[in-house]
Amino acid sequence: MDANQDVLSNPFGMDEDCRNCPALCETREQVVHGYGDVGGDFLFVGEVSGEGPDRTGVPFTGDETGRALLSILRRLGLCGSEPDSEEPRLGNTFLTYTARCRHPERAPTDEELGNCEPYLNAEIRMINPEIIVPVGERALEEIGTEYTTTPVEELDIVADHASRIRGRGFELMPMIDPDRQTDAQTQAFVEAFAELMASDYRQTKGRRGR
């Protein structure tokens, strides 16, 4: 973790009482901003806060999706806590979402994602990660549109799972939602990401193309 970092949760002090999406203000328990190592090379971006994070205030905690992701991070040596931790000890890794507030009955609208986009862009700018991991189809669409030269219609979470995509300023490695992965897909991601970590991945930053 960055030596100057005091807190893991919402380390950039983003608005925890955001009212930009009135409908979500009525259904959320809290705004879930990013969590983790602000000096991390690896940024994992999910679509939206789920039931667990809405309760804990920490991305990818408190539910099956979070346990599955933290289990993967433990296997990669990026998490020093048990998968059911609500305040995981992360190293070289930051967790966040494209949308910060949960609606229990639907996915975020395009307008709601647009309202949250400045938060995500600010986190990406301040963390300046080497690798972004879009978690799930919607996150891949949002991140891929902004940070790669690949046409969005060519992006596919299943086909691109555990693959390296070079784009504008960052390299992406998409991941199927952790609680929807088969054992084989999880193993493929762990092996591919471990290989990436062992490579000179910092030298790929800024290249363009797929």
Q: Enter the tokens of residue 71.
A: 């289990």
Confidence at residue 203, expressed as pLDDT on a 0 to 100 scale: 64
pLDDT < 70 regions, the chain = 1-4, 203-210
Confidence at residue 204, expressed as pLDDT on a 0 to 100 scale: 54
Q: Which of 34, 30, 45 is nearest to 12 (CA)?
A: 34
Tens digit of each residue's pLDDT (9 = 90 or more) over 47-91: 999 999 999 999 999 999 999 999 999 999 999 999 999 999 999
Confidence at residue 5, expressed as pLDDT on a 0 to 100 scale: 81
Torsional class of 87: left (φ above 0), alpha (ψ -120 to 50), beta (otherwise)? beta
Quote the CA–CA distance of 39 and 153 in Å, as a whole number: 32
Quote the CA–CA distance of 117 and 103 in Å, as a whole number: 17
- Is residue 34 within 8 Å of residue 10, measured between CB atoms? yes
